Structure 1
């Protein structure tokens, strides 16, 4: 049974000469985003205060930089955020920025749900556009989002991303899931002649000789043998949240 997801809020606070924080330079002048939930969010609602923990700042920056975050009236410099993120990476002992971003996204997904997780990963793709691991995690999370809210735009986004992923550097299960969800995306989009041609090409490039995991092979066979059947993303999902 899944844990109940907790609501969250992004709070922007101004910092500068009169309001300092230990990770900021003396010259910093702008706003910092804090991602809070649970008891901290309840406390904020009651008395307009919360703890300035580094975890909240880390999650706040990665969520706050995403295009989904509310930023009206907020001023910040991305370079300042990158400096802070590097200090946080060292403090949290992450191997590199990629590992830290994927870890934060997973943490937020388990506590607050897949939507803010996707926002974190979008920030990650902006900061590290060549990261295949972030793109792969994003596709897996997109499929979870499709299970909640089936939308053709999800399938189109998955298909656009897959050619940009270096599948040789992702672990085998993730690689096969990514390729499989691309195949499912083609299948769930409207059927027409061009799609049939695209599907054949996709199978040749991403399925044949790539898929080895039995459950994925059986799902693909089920799709190919039941082309007229109505499938949902939940029917086709093969990974755990």
Structure 2
């Protein structure tokens, strides 16, 4: 897979284990609506998709309620939850190897861009990225497809989609890649299901950052 010169990473569940920060912040937001969920494992499905969509889907919120829920979520996430994350083993070494081999490294996440940049800086891996793209805090750019399209708009014109591959841990990443016309690899150490990712068209599954690095440099 060394023919891919542009490596586009998801963030949560792909580069970092952000379960604690995200699920505790969702738990906090739900409590504002009188919904108590003590089991954080049951809130893992909020990691990956846009929060508004998942609140509407999982709790039958109206769009207005979901938007209010996002504001409650950010009340806890921005000062506390954003730092309740840790980098997956081997990830920094992988990024260093990819960079050393001349790869263009980008980020495409449904997390709002300012928060994504803060996480990368907190994890001390921001400098490896040539381009970082995330969702808008209040604008229309929210889905993985929206983010990927915005990323392509801002990358150099010399980059073609055949050079690009998306790395993610859920079907949202794989489906987003399919929609914009690029290949994808799933990682098994995040929050998605490997069989679902393969069924949705992932070219391969990596079981560690080290294995992923080897795949991308073969």
Higher strand share: 2
**More relative contact order in 1 or in 2 (CA 8 Å, sep 6+)?**
2
Same fold (TM over 0.5): no
TM-score with structure 1 setting the length: 0.27
The structure number with the bigger radius of gyration is 1
